[in-house]
Structure 1
């Protein structure tokens, strides 16, 4: 069993206020890439700069990208977020593809430091079934869809509950009772 969680800062869930209501505001504000023009540790960063940095900047117009060559220094990427947080990512010996993937992760994150999430309730016997989330029963095919999609997400059809079945039976009995009263002429 891992005890990593004991050394992590704990906090409650924090999210940028109203982000995503109306329009989404990306939290990554600025990327500063520092690299060496000659050192072999910076090869992946140099390849990323030559091949992908212009496309990345065009795809993300809300993010400012700075390139700073530094002689005889290990490459790193400084990420600055709208909430004032900064994060430094070591790019030593990263390939071009790995660096692009890390920048995509940073682009989608809020800038809040990784913390162990606390909850308001406590139990001495936690559930072995795990925690329910809104994505628990969503089919994995939705991970590959591009939203908004034409067909949209449809929740799987659930089985009728016992209460719903009883209500339906009762409604049918009432209808039959009314029909028999009407045909016999009694009120």
Structure 2
């Protein structure tokens, strides 16, 4: 065994293999204590934040009061990305739905697929309607 090098392979953590690591790690909620645009965010903080945070124990929730600024929900993700949504003049239900959207997303921007599927063979793809049929063959059974 004198000339054999044994390489140690370090496995990369893959989400979903063995354990699930939630991509969202921290939510920062900023609001104004007296501004009218922060009313829905203030109501969410008073009435629903405690039960909402209990549903997601793996996420840190930070509340910042910034007088004179519009309310903002900011999410920080495990891969270093950050997303934010302004919740100006939104009611409690919309604020909660936007928080769920931030928590369930990965932090990456949406993008179009780079490659399109092309085929040389004719096949059934897409939505069929009778208007796609040759007019001479339309009403034949």
TM-score above 0.5, yes or no: yes
Q: Residues of 1 paired with 2:124 and 2:97: CA distance?
A: 35
1:96 aligned residue (92, 99, 104): 92
SS of the aligned residue for 1:88 comes to: strand
1:42 aligned residue (38, 46, 50): 38
Q: Which has the larger radius of gyration?
A: 1
- The Cα shift of 1:121 comes to 4.0
- The Cα shift of 1:84 comes to 0.6
Who is 2:105 aligned against?
A: 109
- Alignment TM-score, normalising by the size of structure 1: 0.55
Unmatched 5+ stretches in structure 1: 1-16, 131-187
The structure where helix makes up a greater share of residues is 1
2:133 matches 1:129: no
- The Cα shift of 1:120 comes to 5.9
Unmatched 5+ stretches in structure 2: 1-12, 128-141
SS of the aligned residue for 2:115 comes to: coil
SS of the aligned residue for 2:37 comes to: helix
Counting matched residue pairs gives 114
Q: Residues of 2 paired with 1:82 and 1:126: CA distance?
A: 42
1:85 aligned residue (81, 87, 103): 81
